């Protein structure tokens, strides 16, 4: 029945006309402390692979788990071995390692937290997830491998507001700058601001953004999308109003202009010049002397010591005061209600007089029993009254003890949260110290501009810190941990800040620069009048319309040194991208009858060519380094690729921009 359901589901997916993405999974249960595959496991995997292999493209995630017996470290290792043994089997069947990811969770994700044998058996498992993707076109591939997530802010538009985005873009919004599309007043409704920051080549590819205006080549400082709504309704700027946008720190260039996005006949985004120059706050174009030794000697760590977390033993959870209940009062029997239990024949043949005599006898027995019950009831009731008085005394005491205990638990939970923040701050600043040492070692070897660029690259680095929350809770609550976490509905995890959104070093570095304001580097910047509180190396512009904007400059060349690059038209909705290695330029070619071409490119320039296409619904990629010649007729070598490989190739392009 299960396989029949899977087959029906997959048939529906295979006939779907549009891109679809779904997931099916299989559970493999393991014996206690075992990670070896049995024949039953292997048969189960074979059957599962057979059921999903009808699809054109499938990726797998294998997740290992254990029960709650054993230490955390032991269970993490055991779950890893279980996942690896399943991966080895899967690898032999599908032959493509990049289609398989493995994870191991130890005992952190129990399906049944009870301590029974049957519950533990459910937890000793490996989950095999099959991610089934049916691609309709190449754009579907791009959407899956990279998504540019927006920043969203709900603001009070009646007040001046400054917001800072994930990548460091700063937006200054004046009060009362917006109105509804018909010109009516917004009132005091909240305005939702949506911002996308496209600063990397993978961002550009994801959003279909290229650095060209008609046939002209543009060099970009980054592209930003801004939109605003009120309860889903579009709004616009009031006449004469605008917002100021300050780009993240970078190497700035002269002659930058503001461009707005437009759409050509094919639906591709093009850029229209506004003839509005973009200003910059920078000292990179000035030949100034920077006292790096003085700047780098600043105490960036602020003397902050490594945080320490420790707790005294926690008392057992105090019991609640048990409210006493009165004993049941016995009912006094009556002669009329006393039952006479006789057999069937006696009911027919026993005389009425004999029945009444029997009833009186039973009544006397019931009355004697009642008197005994009454004596016991009166004693129990007296005891109940005593317990009521004891309860009245004990209840506030026990309630207070439980309240104090709960407050202590809450304080420890808050202490753990504070500790996590302190650890993050400590590691961020420790990482900054390491970055500063690295920069300091290069003083004298590199120019000031190169050193500033190196500082900027460090600012974008991820935070190197992993925190196992369960260990922190175990330290706080010992053997009461599970009970407390269940009561408080807390689900601890292993937090890797390097993979968390918004956890790069940019904000901390910005604060560092502000803290070092009186040191030589900023003193020199301030003398030039080109810096304002840490915004060095930033483009600044004002916009008065919503949508995509681009900070660009034209790159013009003598027509005599230009050449075309022609590529074989691979069909299958192939996408080509041409990226220059010495400037932030990414171009989209044009499709001819039998070829794909890029026109008017400067000769002798080193570029990287990337192609993505679908063949029988399977992703393919081609990547090539190339120097533009007088004549350029190329054929790219496409190969099958997993989404992981395509994502890795696109992300590797970003290093080209960061080195500029």
Distance CA 606, CA 11 (A): 47
**Region of poorest pLDDT, from 202-206, 275-279, 394-398, 516-520:** 516-520
**Region of poorest pLDDT, from 82-96, 311-325, 501-515, 634-648:** 501-515
Mean pLDDT of 475-501: 82
Distance CA 572, CA 137 (A): 8
Instruction: Determine contact, residues 162/173, Cβ cutoff 8 Å.
Output: yes
Per-residue pLDDT band at 536 (split at 50, 70, 90): very low
Per-residue pLDDT band at 286 (split at 50, 70, 90): very low
> Where are the domain boundaries for CATH 3.30.1330.60 in the chain?
2-134
Per-residue pLDDT for 306 more than 90?
Answer: no
Distance CA 172, CA 164 (A): 9
Instruction: Determine contact, residues 552/257, Cβ cutoff 8 Å.
Output: yes
Instruction: Determine contact, residues 243/169, Cβ cutoff 8 Å.
Output: no
Q: What pLDDT, on a 0 to 100 scale, did the predictor assign at position 56?
A: 80
Higher pLDDT: 507 or 478? It is 478
Within 10 angstroms of residue 133's Cβ, the number of other Cβ atoms is 21
Q: What pLDDT, on a 0 to 100 scale, did the predictor assign at position 412?
A: 92
Q: What pLDDT, on a 0 to 100 scale, did the predictor assign at position 519?
A: 44
* 3-state DSSP of 601-646: EECCCEEEEEEEEEECCEEEEEEEEEECCCCEEECCCCEECCHHHH
Higher pLDDT: 42 or 296? It is 42
Distance CA 57, CA 393 (A): 70
Q: What pLDDT, on a 0 to 100 scale, did the predictor assign at position 355?
A: 77
Q: Which helix (H) or strand (E) holds 590?
A: strand 590-591
DSSP strands (E only) in 20-124: 20-29, 57-64, 100-104
Q: Which helix (H) or strand (E) holds 538?
A: strand 538-543
Q: What pLDDT, on a 0 to 100 scale, did the predictor assign at position 220?
A: 92
Higher pLDDT: 56 or 564? It is 564
Distance CA 41, CA 47 (A): 10
**What is the tens place of the pLDDT at every residue in 606-626?**
999 999 998 888 899 999 999
Alpha helices in 489-581 (DSSP H): 506-515, 520-528
Mean pLDDT of 434-444: 76
Q: Which residues does 635 contact at the CB level (< 8 Å), separation at least 6?
A: 567, 568
Q: What pLDDT, on a 0 to 100 scale, did the predictor assign at position 461?
A: 65
DSSP for 85-107? Answer: HHHHHHHHHH--GGGEEEEE-TT
What is the residue-averaged pLDDT of the chain?
A: 82
Question: Which CATH number describes the domain made up of 2-134?
Answer: 3.30.1330.60
Q: What pLDDT, on a 0 to 100 scale, did the predictor assign at position 563?
A: 93
Under DSSP, is residue 249 helix (H, G, I), strand (E, B) or coil? coil
Mean pLDDT of 177-193: 94
Q: What pLDDT, on a 0 to 100 scale, did the predictor assign at position 281?
A: 62
Distance CA 612, CA 138 (A): 7
Q: What pLDDT, on a 0 to 100 scale, did the predictor assign at position 659?
A: 53
Mean pLDDT of 23-49: 92
Per-residue pLDDT for 25 more than 70?
Answer: yes
C-alpha torsion 339→342→344→348, nearest 10:
-80
């Amino acid at each position: 029945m299960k396989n029949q359901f899977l087959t029906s589901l997959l048939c529906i997916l295979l006939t779907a006309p549009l891109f679809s993405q779904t997931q099916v999974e299989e559970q493999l249960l393991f014996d206690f402390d075992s990670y070896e595959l049995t024949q039953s496991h292997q048969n189960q995997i074979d059957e599962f692979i057979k059921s999903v292999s009808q699809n054109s493209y499938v990726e797998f995630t294998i997740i290992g788990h254990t029960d709650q017996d054993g230490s955390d470290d032991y269970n993490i290792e055991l779950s890893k071995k279980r996942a690896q043994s399943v991966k080895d089997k899967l690898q032999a069947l599908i032959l493509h390692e990049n289609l398989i990811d493995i994870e191991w969770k130890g005992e952190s994700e129990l399906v049944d937290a009870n301590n029974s044998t049957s519950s533990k058996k459910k937890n000793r498992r490996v989950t095999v997830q099959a991610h089934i993707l049916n691609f309709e076109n190449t754009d579907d591939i791009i959407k899956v491998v990279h998504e540019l997530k927006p920043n969203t802010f709900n603001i009070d538009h009646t007040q001046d507001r400054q917001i800072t985005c994930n990548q460091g873009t700063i937006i200054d919004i004046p009060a009362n700058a917006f109105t509804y599309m018909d010109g009516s007043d917004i009132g005091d409704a909240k305005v939702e601001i949506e911002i996308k920051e496209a600063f990397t080549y993978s961002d550009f590819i994801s959003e279909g953004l290229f650095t060209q205006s008609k046939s002209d080549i543009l060099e970009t400082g980054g592209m930003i999308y801004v939109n605003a709504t009120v309860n889903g309704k579009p709004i616009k700027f009031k006449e004469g109003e605008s917002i100021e946008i300050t780009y993240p720190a970078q190497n700035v260039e002269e002659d930058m202009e503001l461009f707005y996005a437009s759409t050509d006949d094919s639906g591709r985004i093009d850029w229209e010049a506004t003839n509005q120059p973009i200003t910059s706050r920078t000292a990179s174009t000035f030949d100034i002397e920077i006292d790096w030794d003085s700047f780098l000697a600043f105490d960036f760590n602020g003397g902050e010591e490594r945080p320490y977390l420790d707790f005294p033993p926690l008392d057992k959870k105090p019991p609640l005061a048990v409210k006493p209940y009165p004993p049941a009062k016995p009912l006094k029997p009556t002669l009329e209600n006393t039952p006479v239990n006789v057999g069937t024949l006696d009911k027919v043949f026993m005389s009425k007089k004999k029945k009444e005599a029997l009833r009186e006898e039973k009544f006397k027995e019931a009355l004697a029993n009642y008197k005994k019950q009454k004596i016991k009831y009166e004693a129990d009731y007296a005891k109940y009254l005593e317990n009521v008085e004891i309860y009245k005394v004990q209840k506030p005491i026990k309630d207070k003890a439980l309240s104090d205990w709960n407050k202590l638990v809450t304080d420890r939970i808050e202490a753990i949260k504070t500790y996590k923040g302190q650890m993050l701050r400590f590691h961020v600043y420790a990482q900054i110290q390491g970055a500063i040492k690295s920069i300091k070692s290069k003083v004298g070897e590199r120019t000031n501009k190169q050193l500033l660029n190196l500082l900027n690259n460090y600012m974008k680095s991820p935070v190197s810190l992993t925190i196992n929350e369960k260990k922190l809770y175990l330290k706080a609550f010992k053997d009461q941990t599970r009970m407390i976490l269940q009561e408080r509905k807390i689900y601890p995890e292993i937090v890797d800040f390097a993979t968390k959104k918004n956890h790069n070093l940019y904000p901390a570095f910005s604060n560092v620069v502000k803290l070092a304001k009186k040191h030589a580097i900023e003193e020199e910047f301030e003398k030039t009048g080109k810096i304002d509180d840490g915004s060095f190396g930033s483009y600044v512009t004002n916009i008065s319309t919503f949508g995509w904007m681009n900070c660009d400059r034209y790159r013009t060349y003598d027509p005599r040194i230009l050449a075309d690059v022609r590529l074989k038209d691979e069909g299958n909705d192939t996408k080509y991208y041409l990226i220059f290695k010495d400037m932030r330029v990414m171009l989209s070619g044009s499709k001819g009858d039998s070829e794909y071409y890029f026109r008017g490119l400067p000769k002798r320039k080193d570029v990287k060519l990337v192609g993505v296409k679908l063949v029988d619904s399977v992703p393919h990629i081609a990547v090539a380094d190339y120097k533009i010649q007088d004549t350029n007729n190329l054929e790219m070598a496409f190969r099958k690729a997993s989404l992981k490989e395509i994502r890795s190739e696109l992300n590797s392009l970003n290093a080209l921009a960061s080195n500029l």
